[in-house]
Amino acid sequence: MEMRGRFAPSPTGELHLGSAWTALLAWLQVRAAKGIMVLRIEDIDPNRSRAAYTEALMADLKWLGLEWDEGPEKGGPYGPYFQSQRRELYQETLRQLAAAGLIYPCYCTRGELAASAPHGTEGERVYPGTCCSRTDGKRTGKEPALRLVVPPGCVAFYDGVRGRFVQDVAREVGDFIVRRADGVHAYQLAVVVDDAAMRITHVLRGADLLDSTPRQLVLYRLLGHAPPEFAHVPLLIAEDGHRLSKRQRDLSLAALRQQGARPENIIGYLAWKAGLMERFAPVAAADLIPGFSIKRIGTGPVVIGADAVRLSGAR
Ligand code: GLU
């Protein structure tokens, strides 16, 4: 079967060195297998997405030499390639899950959730199932979020970088949200619907999403789709141990370009950091295709320190 991979950026800020890193590795995995690369714009959250960022990130990816085969502008058999234009598909999937009795409305407020969960931080705590057996019906004036009934048991998968990963989703996450109270479909749902519909066979993305994968596998199973293979690459971190973030504007592609960085410096730097080259040297992305193997990527943290001066051309 032909390999199909994807970039799935959210246009919520300028393309950052950290996203260029995952984009490069996902692109190399696909190109080394002579597969098809898909670009899907994950503009599902209208409050956070901007069309200008979509334009900019497409220009940045092209500038880096990371071309795709299907996506916005190019089209392809599985479009549209914007999540904002795929809402009907997400709704249809929700109807299917609801018909199987796997969806329930949740009226819990943040306050109620906090009160029921003394441990953990926002976004990490286990949903206690408060609304699952609620029989008092709809509370007036408040739209509910929708949650998925998560079946009990462990979900295990083999990650191409990290090896075996197991999570008991019911116990460690609980019934998770598939549509927010404001009507926005959840990332977990949309990404599964889209990766399945776009026939994606290989997902390579940042390790921050490792923990989401078992939830996605639960959805694959309930929807009867064969899941892709997953590989979660280490995140780039700053010397202080924090993840590089969109807040570090000086490491946006736009800023690096302004400082005189050439694409081959950025690609060379990232490839060196990934362990694909022994020493730093400017290189074109296409020159890394021969000999690329995901097995060469380590699991350890990738620290971006003072050597980042090389990004702007210094040796
Ligand atoms: N849109 C997500 C992000 O930009 C990536 C989703 C994925 O690769 O599954 O973080």
Share of the chain above pLDDT 70, in %: 92
Residue 20: CB atoms within 10 Å: 25
Model pLDDT for residues 264-288, shown as the tens digit of each residue:
999 999 999 999 999 999 999 999 9
Instruction: Tell me the two tokens of residue 28.
Output: 């190399």
- Contacts with 14 (C-beta within 8 Å, 6 or more apart), sequence order: 53, 56, 57, 60, 246, 249, 252, 253, 254, 255
- At which residue do the structure tokens 């009507």 appear? 183
Residue 262 corresponds to which amino acid?
R
pLDDT at position 301? 85
Taking residues 232-259, report their average pLDDT.
85
User: Which ligand 1 atom minimizes the distance to the CA of 19?
Assistant: 4
- How many Å apart are CA 254 and CA 256, to the nearest integer? 6
Residue 67: CB atoms within 10 Å: 15
**Is domain 87-191 in CATH 3.60.130.10, yes or no?**
no
E strands in the chain: 4-7, 36-39, 103-106, 145-148, 155-159, 163-167, 177-179, 202-206, 229-233, 236-238, 302-304
Domain boundaries, given as residue ranges, for the chain? 4-78+199-312, 87-191
pLDDT at position 121? 46
Among 6, 10, 204, which is best to mutate for testing ligand 1, by the most ligand atoms less than 8 A from CB? Answer: 10
- How many Å apart are CA 272 and CA 141, to the nearest integer? 56
Please identify, in words, the CATH class of the domain defined by 4-78+199-312. Answer: alpha beta
Among 209, 210, 217, which is best to mutate for testing ligand 1, by the most ligand atoms less than 8 A from CB? Answer: 209
* Catalytic residue flag (residue 246): yes
Least confident of 24-33, 119-128, 213-222: 119-128
pLDDT at 119 over 90: no
